[in-house]
Structure 1
Amino acid sequence: MLIDSAAFATTAEGAHMITVFSTTDGSPSQRASGTYTGELWRDAPTTDEHGVTVGNVFFTPCARTHWHSHPGGQLLIIEHGEGFVGDRERATRVVAGDIVWTPPNVEHWHGATSERSMMHTAVTFGGVSWGDAVSDNQYAAGNEADPSRA
């Protein structure tokens, strides 16, 4: 559920009250499988009526997604640790505080470095189309990406 300005209630005195929308049913994080290499944990994602999905993913060292794309693009907010985001041309090292935009239909992958975990919040527009696993050679090239950001 996305929050807009209508989400803030006003008291009889005109003061604004904070309103909290629960985006989960309280289920514990779950280990992800299928389209991932290594150990990943996901919180139950929330999807709105427009196909916008928001969720957190925790990657252990060396864990990564398979190649994939999103019809409407994807925004990643790196919350913790260090990792990579790669497309078919290169991989870029990312660290906590970075924000990554992947345009619609661009094949890409993301994951943790070989020595550090990473957690990101993913905002996905229009679903996902999964591809093959990222090869060990492709992942190794990511590990060589701009070590000065470490």
Structure 2
Amino acid sequence: LRAELENMKSTLATKDEQLEQERTYKNQLQDFLEASQTQKQQFESELSESKAKNEENQQEIEQLQEQILALSSTHQNQLESVRCSIEEGTVSPLKVENTRLETLCGTYQKKIEKLQAEKDQLLQSINSLKSSGSDLLQQNKQLHELLQ
């Protein structure tokens, strides 16, 4: 009986030890589960914020796309209007005349600069001729006096 009692005590001690290990393991699993739940809640919160931000961005993208389409349409309409004006000749003659006048102004400006350069050259030539003429007159007077 004693041996059986000792054997049962040993078995109970082993079972108590196993129960304690199972409790420890169960507590660790419970802590892990709680930590996982906390992480899951944080992740879900971040995910929700991310989805809200994504939705905001998507709306902003859609607004920008609408603005781009509106600007593109406006630009296309302006191009079409200019094209029609050119074809109809309503705006084009003014623009053509303006371009023609600008070209003429540039051409005339170049001609004026060229003429100014020629004028300066002619003035130098005239001054040179005057000087030569004065010298010739002086020589002519001297010759005339000598002849008399």
Q: TM-score, normalising length from structure 1? A: 0.14
Q: Which structure is higher in RCO with an 8 Å CA cutoff and minimum separation 6?
A: 1
> Which of the pair is proportionally richer in helix?
2
Q: TM-score, normalising length from structure 2? A: 0.15
